[in-house]
Amino acid sequence: MHRAIPLGLRVVQPSANIPIQLLTALTILALAVVMIKNQVYGSSPVTTRYSTFTGGFGMIVSGVGLLSLFVTFIPAIVPIALDTLAGFLFLGGGIAWAYGLRQTANCSAGDAMLYNDLLNQGSQQFKDGVGYGVAHPGDSEWDLFHRLRGNCQRAQADEILQFISFGIAAGLVALGYLGMKKGWGGRTGAGAYVA
């Protein structure tokens, strides 16, 4: 009975066994990888690379958390500690994206998006001006704006998912702490390793 609550946060639909924590982390990772793959000039921004880290780490934490619901040799404090760390990492990622996208006017300010290093896929100085990775030869203004808006929407989705993942992790930490204090599942904070 008491395992159903954390399982509900870790799993979207128990009959299909789709882990929500894993799904959000995987989506964060996938969005960041797409943005890194589209980088034309220079290396991708730190915020984008950080998102790949938080997405990958979140997937590992989700796996350990799911495993701890079904096996008893993992001390109860382990998923709590991992969810706490993941929560802080997700919060940092969400704040970094929010700060980086602060002047994009909800993906409608074309110039602001073009000059934003998180969205323009890199820039390079040429003799006759600056080239942006998002701009292709022969693009109309509409094509460029459309591509920038797509990058901005992916970045906003990554930002939102980072904050959602923080909320999931915080909920799991609270439930894990309550469960540990109340002795749900027969495990204590120290746990016992049983081979």
- The pLDDT of residue 19 is 82
Per the prediction, the chain carries an average pLDDT of 85
Alpha carbon 3 to its chain centroid, in Å, reads 25
- The pLDDT of residue 14 is 44
- As beta bridge partners, residue 129 has 126
72 compared with 150, residue with greater pLDDT: 150
- The pLDDT of residue 2 is 53
Give the C-alpha separation, 142 to 43, whole Å.
26
171 compared with 57, residue with greater pLDDT: 57
Q: What percent of the chain has pLDDT over 90?
A: 54
For residue 85, pLDDT beyond 50:
yes
Grade residue 66 by pLDDT with cuts at 50, 70 and 90.
Answer: confident
3 compared with 45, residue with greater pLDDT: 45
Q: What are phi and psi of 125, to 5 degrees?
A: -85, 130
For residue 192, pLDDT beyond 80:
no
The alpha-helical segments, DSSP class H, found in the chain are 4-10, 20-37, 46-70, 77-100, 110-114, 141-182
Mean pLDDT computed over 28-53:
94
Grade residue 69 by pLDDT with cuts at 50, 70 and 90.
Answer: confident
Mean pLDDT computed over 70-95:
93
**Which three-class secondary structure state does DSSP give residue 12?**
coil
For residue 83, pLDDT beyond 70:
yes
- Length, in residues, of the chain: 195
Mean pLDDT computed over 130-150:
89
Listed residue (190, 186, 189) closest to 1, CA to CA:
186
Record the pTM: 0.84
For residue 163, pLDDT beyond 90:
yes
- The pLDDT of residue 153 is 96
